[in-house]
Chain A
């Protein structure tokens, strides 16, 4: 029951946060120089034509009128239409969300698969051993190479020598899983490297900290095997910082997805939002920010729940 109240209060404050975020985005969008009328008419924009276009799309109304109108539409489930296609943006988002989700999941899976084992191994091995140094080097490199640098390098390598992986040309998973993976692996790797390094460093640190605790020495004195020690004592105690960093990484993934999708032409939500910003297609940007904030809040709440499950000592007191 306490957990339930905890989650509810978190969601309530999250809702307020989301409202604040959307208001911020709404206002700042309209302060950006240039609007859809400019994009549509191109270099042939005349003052008269501009007025006609702005009037047609309701952009000439005062700011607060536009905001209220948008809020009201939101309550009816109307997220607005794209000015380029005049079609509801929510359809595009629903169509593209699985793509970005797949990209993020692949990246997260790869990052965990590489970072976690390496980090635990590095943290639990005696210092001065090659394994630790090796893991640290990987961690340093992975955290040091920005995703777009890595992405550009991968594009270079794989467009010259194909090696079975493809740059661009997305096909849905349901249509052709193999082709889909061939296209999605490169952007997923691009995003996963940073996450893997982050997870590696964090899990290594967490494990190292746990190693200094008394109960580990006691377990060694009892003659337990290293594998069992890791499994029974280390993993659970070290997992809280790892959950934290996974949440942080998830936040990074939402932004990083934009870079990866733009670089590799993956038709996901990130690319859609990026183009929407370029085209001053306000509805697209507003909806994507709303969506991103929502997802972020959900993930954070899940993380908080996980904390409570992993460590019963964590207080679920709402006034933290």
Chain B
């Protein structure tokens, strides 16, 4: 079978089995494509002021209307999608690497390393994430870098905990013991034997952390601490739109809708991935 046939078969199976996840996948793909290639579309410049009259409702000329400085809103939303995805994805990718290493070390090596790492993860977890975010953003100053740091710090404990518990479960297994007996170093054991086995849990956590990261980034931008103007992320667009809620609601509604769709699609895809990696479809009651 050619690749194309294989893909279309897989798609047909997904659509039949789990329509919801299929929709989520489509949505996510659309948004990611928009984010990647959106700036190259033949639309107005996202930062150019006074392209049209201020605060006009959606029309053919301006599909999402114009904002308070006369900028076309659709290209700004596309810019927002791009910023939100890029920021959250890069933060989560970095964190997953650190989290995996720390979790494996804690779970496999046990002892003081475990105590230290687990304790730190607990401390971070005990902090209300919002206050951490506000503090970090306040110390580092608003902007992309602090947004990435906040997302990383807030999602790190998640990774550490999950990877650690999976590693704990693996530690007594036969092939690990065999490798130890054979004299393999801890590093090698972690890299060659443990890592492939936690990969599944890692991927599942990755998608979950991505949606958490997107929420955190948008909350930060909503509070004015994330992306700075005239740049835009979906959260900062929502913030600007809320000021004009009662007489230019399309600003807040469109950015809110896109943000929610993005997070929802990530969740749905994450669900589907988890269902594949950890199948649990049970037998029916009757």
Contact = CB atoms under 8 A, between A and B. Distances in A.
B280 A156 contact: no
B170 interface: no
Nearest to B255: A149
Contacts of A258: 128, 130-131
A292 interface: yes
A260 B283 CA distance: 42
B283 A251 contact: no
A25 B241 CA distance: 33
Interface range on chain A: under 10, 10 to 19, 20 to 34, or 35 or more?
35 or more
Interface stretch (B54-62, B64-72, B257-265): B257-265
A33 interface: yes
Contacts of A20: 123
A144 B234 CA distance: 14
A152 B138 contact: no
A18 B282 CA distance: 43
Contacts of A289: 127-128, 131
A140 B134 contact: no
Nearest to B245: A156
A288 B134 CA distance: 14
Given A126-B285, A146-B259, A146-B263, A255 B128 contact: yes
B128 A156 contact: no
B99 interface: no
Contacts of A5: none
Contact of B238 (A18, A152, A255, A297): A152
Nearest to B261: A144
Contacts of A156: 245-246, 249, 252-253
B48 interface: no
Interface string B116-143: 0001001101111111001110110100
Contacts of B130: 255-256, 258-259
Interface in B239-274: 241-242, 245-246, 249, 252-253, 256, 259-261, 263-265, 267-268, 271
Nearest to A34: B138
A293 interface: yes
Interface in A4-27: 13, 16-18, 20-21, 24-25
Contact of B285 (A31, A229, A292): A229
A220 B286 contact: yes
Interface in A104-151: 124-127, 133, 136-137, 140-141, 143-146, 148-149
Contacts of B285: 124-126, 211, 216, 220, 226, 229
B153 to A, nearest CB: 11
A29 interface: yes
A17 B128 contact: no
A156 B268 CA distance: 28
Interface stretch (B172-180, B181-189, B215-223): B215-223
A143 B264 contact: yes
B75 interface: no
A133 B20 contact: yes
B238 A211 contact: no
B242 to A, nearest CB: 5
Interface of A: 13, 16-18, 20-21, 24-25, 28-29, 31-33, 124-127, 133, 136-137, 140-141, 143-146, 148-149, 152-153, 155-156, 159-160, 205, 208-209, 211-212, 216-217, 220, 226, 229, 251-252, 254-256, 258-259, 273-274, 277, 285, 288-289, 292-293, 296-297
28 contacts: A13-B119, A16-B119, A17-B126, A127-B284, A133-B19, A136-B20, A140-B267, A141-B260, A143-B263, A144-B260, A146-B218, A146-B219, A146-B263, A148-B219, A149-B238, A152-B256, A155-B245, A156-B245, A159-B246, A205-B280, A211-B283, A255-B131, A259-B130, A259-B219, A277-B134, A289-B131, A292-B131, A293-B126
